[in-house]
Amino acid sequence: MCGIVAITSSNRRGDLGILLTEALKKLEYRGYDSVGIAVVDQGNLYVAKNVGTVESVAKSENFASLSGCVGIGHTRWATHGAPSKKNSHPHTDCAKKIAVVHNGIIENYSELKNFLLSRGHVFISDTDTEVVPHLIEEFKRAGLDTYSAFRKAVSMLRGTFAIVAIDIDGGRKLLFTRKVSPLVVGIGSDFVLVSSDIVSILPYTDRVVVLNDDEVGYAEPGRVFIETVGGRSVDVASRVMKVDYGVEDFDKGPYEHYMIKEIREQPYTLNQTLSGLISSRDEVEKSLKLLESADSIYIVGAGSSYYASLLGSLYFRYLGFRAQALVSSEATPYLRGVRPGDVVVVVSQSGETIDTLLAMRESAKRGARVVAIVNNPLSTIARESDAYVYMKSGPEICVAATKTFTSQVLVLSYLGLAMTRDSHRIEASLRALRRLPEITASMISSTENAARKVAKKISTEHSVYYLGRAFGYPISAEAALKMKEVAYVHAEAYPAGESKHGPIALVASGFPVVFTIVGELDELIEGNIEEMKARGAYVITYAPSDRITSTVERNSDLVIPLPQVLLEVSLVTYVIPHQLLAYYTSIERGYNPDRPRNLAKTVTVF
Residues marked active site are found at 2, 601
- Of the candidate residues 45, 51, 57, 78, the single one contacting ligand GLU (CB under 6 A): 78
Question: From the CB of 604, what's the least distance to ligand GLU, in Å?
Answer: 6
Residues recorded for the chain? 606
Question: From the CB of 377, what's the least distance to ligand GLU, in Å?
Answer: 23
Question: From the CB of 457, what's the least distance to ligand GLU, in Å?
Answer: 37
Q: 105 or 288: whose CB is closer to ligand GLU?
A: 105
Phi-psi map region of 126: left, alpha, beta (phi>0 left; psi -120 to 50 alpha): alpha
Describe the crossing of helices 281-292 and 403-419 by its angle, rounded to 10 degrees.
Answer: 60
∠ CA 486-552-479 to the nearest 5 degrees?
A: 15
Check residue 105 for interaction with ligand GLU (CB under 6 A): yes
Q: 31 or 267: whose CB is closer to ligand GLU?
A: 31
Q: How far is CA 47 from the centre of its chain?
A: 29
Q: Which stretch binds ligand GLU (CB under 6 A): 36-44, 77-85, 335-343, 556-564?
A: 77-85
Per residue, the 3-state secondary structure of 18-55, as one string, reads HHHHHHHHCCHHHCCCEEEEEEEECCEEEEEEEECCHH
Question: From the CB of 163, what's the least distance to ligand GLU, in Å?
Answer: 10
Q: Which stretch binds ligand GLU (CB under 6 A): 63-71, 97-105, 422-430, 515-523?
A: 97-105
Check residue 32 for interaction with ligand GLU (CB under 6 A): no
Question: From the CB of 106, what's the least distance to ligand GLU, in Å?
Answer: 7
Check residue 129 for interaction with ligand GLU (CB under 6 A): yes
String marking each residue 586-605 x if it binds ligand GLU according to CB under 6 A: -------------------x
Q: Using CB under 6 A, which residues numbered 260 to 319 contact ligand GLU?
A: none
Peptide bond connecting 90 to the previous residue in cis, omega within 30 degrees of 0: yes
Residue pair 433/440 in contact (Cβ under 8 Å)? The answer is no
Check residue 79 for interaction with ligand GLU (CB under 6 A): yes
Cβ-proximal residues to 258 (8 Å cutoff; 6+ apart), any chain: 252, 396, 397, 398, 594
Nearest to 170 by CA among 190, 150, 154: 150
Check residue 396 for interaction with ligand GLU (CB under 6 A): no
Q: 32 or 258: whose CB is closer to ligand GLU?
A: 32
Beta strand segments in 496-549, E: 512-516, 538-544
Q: 159 or 203: whose CB is closer to ligand GLU?
A: 159
Question: Cα(466)–Cα(588) distance, rounded to whole angstroms?
Answer: 19
Q: 129 or 195: whose CB is closer to ligand GLU?
A: 129
- Of the candidate residues 13, 25, 49, 76, the single one contacting ligand GLU (CB under 6 A): 76
Q: Where are the alpha helices (DSSP H) in 369-497?
A: 380-384, 403-419, 423-433, 436-458, 472-482
Q: Which stretch binds ligand GLU (CB under 6 A): 125-133, 290-298, 373-381, 565-573?
A: 125-133
Nearest to 240 by CA among 263, 211, 213, 276: 211
Contact positions vs ligand GLU (CB under 6 A) = 1-2, 31, 76-81, 102-105, 127-129, 605
